[in-house]
């Protein structure tokens, strides 16, 4: 349930980012794959404006936000949840917007 909430939060962030980007094609893509025999990857990618220049790790700092009305706790909580499950949450700019990637260990 917690991981579902993380994916929901990342998806809603992507939708809000694309809405703020103005007109044009909007695309949200959620992909899953295995990176190796022990790791599953979930990627949430959007066609919004991307991550502001600077350190993408700052996005995961509590109370840091790029939104006018954001609280700055969603990504921090999301990372805490992913790490509690033995995984990793990262962010980067893709060729068309932002991509947030969750890497999780697979159960034996």
Burial code of 12-49, b = ≥16 C-beta within 10 A, e = fewer?
ebbeebbeeeeeeebebeeeeeeeeeeebbbbbbbbbe
The total number of structural domains that make up the chain: 1
pLDDT of residue 72: 64
pTM to 2 decimal places: 0.87
pLDDT of residue 82: 97
What CATH number did the domain enclosing 9 receive?
3.30.565.10
Q: How far apart are CA 10 and CA 26, in angstroms?
A: 15
pLDDT tens-digit series, residues 78-90: 999 999 999 999 9
3-state secondary structure of 86: coil
Residue 71 has pLDDT above 80, yes or no: no
Residue 21 has pLDDT above 80, yes or no: no
User: Quick one: what percent of the chain has pLDDT higher than 70?
Assistant: 91
Q: How far apart are CA 62 and CA 49, in angstroms?
A: 22
Residue 63: count other Cβ atoms within 10 Å of its Cβ. 9
Which residue segment(s) compose the domain that 28 sits in? 2-105
pLDDT of residue 64: 65
């Amino acid at each position: 349930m917690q991981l579902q909430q993380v994916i929901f939060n990342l998806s809603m962030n992507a939708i809000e980012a694309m809405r703020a980007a103005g007109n044009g094609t909007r695309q949200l893509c959620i992909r899953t794959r295995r990176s190796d025999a022990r790791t599953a990857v979930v990627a949430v990618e959007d066609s919004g404006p991307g991550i502001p220049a600077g350190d993408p790790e700052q996005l995961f700092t509590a109370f840091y936000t790029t939104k006018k009305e954001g609280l700055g706790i969603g990504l921090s909580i999301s990372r805490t949840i992913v790490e509690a499950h033995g995984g990793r949450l990262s962010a980067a700019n893709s060729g068309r917007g932002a991509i947030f990637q969750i890497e999780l260990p697979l159960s034996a």
